[in-house]
Amino acid sequence: MALDASIVSSDPFSPPSDSALWRRDFLLGAATASYQIEGAVNEDGRLLSIWDTFSATPGNVLAGDTGEVACDHYHRWESDLDLLSTLNVDAYRLSIAWPRVMDEAGRPNQKGIDFYKRLIGRLKEKGLKTFVTLYHWDLPQYLEDRGGWLNRDTAYRFADYADLMSRELSGQVDAWATLNEPWCSAYLGYGNGHHAPGLANDRYATQAMHHLLLAHGTAVPVLRANDPASLKGIVANVGRGTPDSNSEADVRAAHLFEVQHNAWILDPLLKKAYPKDLFELWPGTEPLVLDGDMETIGAPLDFLGINYYFRTNVKSDGAHGFTEVPLPGVERTQMGWEIHPDGLRDLLIGFNKTYASLPPIYITENGMASDDKVVDGRVDDSQRISFLKRHLAAVDSAIKAGVDIRGYFIWSLLDNFEWAFGYERRFGVFHVDYKTQKRTMKRSAELVAKFLEERNTKATAPA
């Protein structure tokens, strides 16, 4: 089913009058993550993270880039929050750096905690909703030295961290997300080594995932006790897999792709069990699961965050898995990812049919990288404008199909450290000159701001 052509019109941010995007209670926001923007990795008692170690190792990150300075947000946070006001958004999604707020003995680091208190306090002054992610991949290195997510104890140390921050920020946070994209932490970090800590073993990946999800489930009741008025949830990245042909083998391969990318995380959370098909892909990799673990992992959620970026076309590998077959002639981003908004809509509708206990959804990340340059003081990111419009239309289509979607966050507010790709790939709606730290509003941001100003004016106008 193609998207409604009336939605994909020449005006990038004027959706139809019946679109959910016009509703004042539908949140539109922007998102960032601590390691990608903060810098100041050695200041005010912050400890090393696995990404400090990983990016300092030659060959791990493009061009040898690290997060040592990033966007210098730790020192420029006040002016960066002013960018949110310029953008006219309703909400801001950020993450807390675990190594910045606790020492190795689990004691609070007050200077780090005070940084987030000041930041979130300013967001509340601005009237913005605050969506706070506790873990966006920057595990303290001392915990990795003890086994990281392969060590069950890390899940309990995460609960201690969640306890500290939810007590310190109680009443200031609108929504807590325990983890961001456990698939990336488990598979890219422990399965194929593309991300920190750089280990590569399928058995490691499934065990790391179990401990990540256990950390989530252990933290949820702590968050409920300390900050009862806030929403509690988790953020999962999801992938659309499509078969290269109509053959039974290729259709099965596409199914297995989505099992590995989606059901691996969502089934334990919403069905309290791992999908059996996962271990068809990786025979003999079943994690060690203790009595009561799946009940803990399946703790009720107030919301589910969904991150979506692209579609993957696959075929059978002739054995028990799949292999990617890139489609020719399709539109791609700077990352090489196919732009496929229908995939987001189809996944959302599919999840709504599959999971009886599916909680309300926020699209917590959606965006694209392009090779943006400042020309005469402006950045014309026309592909991003088209990308955002088409994906917002896909979200609207899913809402009209009955999916309970409450908001959408653009990834990202700022160009930033894009993990193993360093600073080459630019996802922000504000351009960052990394030499001068100058921020420049891109054309996409200008149009988002214009639309939201119009929406907010209409929403507050007298009947």
Active site residues: 365
CA pair distance 445, 191, nearest whole angstrom: 36
Contact of 212 with 143, CB cutoff 8 Å: no
Could you give the count of Cα atoms lying within 13 Å of 337 in the half-sphere of its Cβ? 20
C-alpha angle with apex 187: 366 to 290, nearest 5 degrees?
A: 115
Residue from 424, 449, 438, 427 nearest 374 by CA? 438
Contact of 91 with 407, CB cutoff 8 Å: yes
To which residue do tokens 């995932």 refer? 209
Q: Which two structure tokens, joined as six digits, stand for 333? A: 């981003």
The phi and psi torsions of 17 (rounded to 5 degrees) equal: -65, -20
The secondary structure element, H or E, covering residue 146 is none
Contact of 222 with 300, CB cutoff 8 Å: no
Q: Which two structure tokens, joined as six digits, stand for 386? A: 């088209």
CA pair distance 249, 136, nearest whole angstrom: 36
